[in-house]
Amino acid sequence: MNTLLPAGLRESDTGKRRFRRFKVAVPALAWPESAGLQPEKAQEHPAIAKSVFIENLSLTGLLIVSTTTFYQGTRLVVKFSLGDRHFALQVDIRRITETEVAGEQYFGYGAQFVRCQTIAEALPSIAAYLDMLSKAGATAKQQKDKAR
């Protein structure tokens, strides 16, 4: 999928990652695509659509953190907002990590966006949001360097 990148966003120069990941803290809902739940009805079904947090985001996927158990290979629908844009995107869980915080077990789900028309339409908005984060990070770094 060819995507024109805004200034400041570049492909990762690390061999494994294609695009830079950005730390975020975005609340979201996630549910297995197989549930057949329509995104606009997700909040009405808390037994199916689980509250999660998106902890990092790139142009190819995201990291979801949750106490809910999902399985590797599961296709999820993840519903979230970035600024004034709303998304309901399909992702495939590729990697799972576990950690315990204050006695509660959390899972980190590395998920890759499913290539489809929906993600193709969403990528320019996601890229613009990541570009804004990149510029904010560069400004913070410049201010820190000046303070030295």
For residue 105, pLDDT over 50 is answered with: yes
Structural domain contains residue 107: yes
Structural domain contains residue 59: yes
Q: How confident is the model at residue 116 (pLDDT cuts 50, 70, 90)?
A: confident
CA dist., res. 121 & res. 62, Å (int): 17
Structural domain contains residue 92: yes
Q: Domain containing 136: what range?
A: 22-142
Q: How confident is the model at residue 9 (pLDDT cuts 50, 70, 90)?
A: very low
Structural domain contains residue 110: yes
Mean pLDDT of 47-69: 94
Per-residue pLDDT, 145? 60
Q: Which of the residue ranges 71-75, 92-96, 108-112, 121-125 would you say has the lowest mean pLDDT? A: 121-125
Structural domain contains residue 124: yes
Give the predicted TM-score (pTM) of the model: 0.78
Per-residue pLDDT, 112? 95
Structural domain contains residue 12: no
Structural domain contains residue 13: no
Structural domain contains residue 52: yes
State the CATH number of the domain containing residue 138.
2.40.10.220
Per-residue pLDDT, 8? 46
Count: domains in the chain: 1
